[in-house]
Amino acid sequence: MIHHASTHVRWDDLDAFGHINNAAYLTLMQEARADFTWYSRKLRGEKPIFADMVVARAEVDYLEPIHQGGIIVDVAITVSRMGTSSFDLHYVVTHDGVVRASGKTVQVAVSMDTQRSRPLSDLERDFLTQYLEVLVEGK
């Protein structure tokens, strides 16, 4: 399964070159991730999860620039790996049917009491498994 989040590109996301600044893509992915784990679940009457996770790593591949603010882009999210206390999210940012960027973040579940990583719960694993997709290298 794939989670889709509509994310707004703001005017101030544009840089001096007239396209979305590289750092703004991480914000688009962050907003989509918040929708994935929090807002869309609340809309379905489900309890939000992963309020206690941190990003341990982020990477972005910039494929086609976006030259305008004030638009809505689609950010598709899948889970590409699950570990004991961490998991990888894969993102695809599209606009007008064109893939503009792809990215990956490594999320780590954290105990709010100890401020250290903690194992994923069964509920969290069940949720993530719905979106788990095995990515084939090079495709």
pLDDT(138) > 60:
no
Whole-prediction pTM: 0.91
Closest CA to 108 of 133, 76, 82, 129: 82
Closest CA to 29 of 79, 73, 91: 91
Band the pLDDT of 40: cuts 50, 70, 90: confident
Band the pLDDT of 134: cuts 50, 70, 90: low
Confidence (pLDDT) at 135: 53
Give the dihedral sign, CA 102/133/120/124: positive
* Helix boundaries (H) for the chain: 22-34, 40-43, 122-130
pLDDT(136) > 70:
no
pLDDT digits 0-9 by tens, 88-114:
999 999 999 999 999 999 999 999 999
φ and ψ at residue 43, rounded to 5 degrees? -65, -30
pLDDT digits 0-9 by tens, 55-85:
999 999 999 999 999 999 999 999 999 999 9
Residue positions counted in the chain: 139
User: What are the percentages of helix, strand and coil residues in the chain, rounded to 5?
Assistant: 25, 40, 35
Residue 98 and residue 64: Cα distance in Å, rounded?
8
Look up residue 117 and give its two tokens. 């990583």
Band the pLDDT of 48: cuts 50, 70, 90: confident
On whether the CB atoms of residues 20 and 13 are closer than 8 A, the answer is yes
* CATH of span 3-130: 3.10.129.10
Confidence (pLDDT) at 52: 92
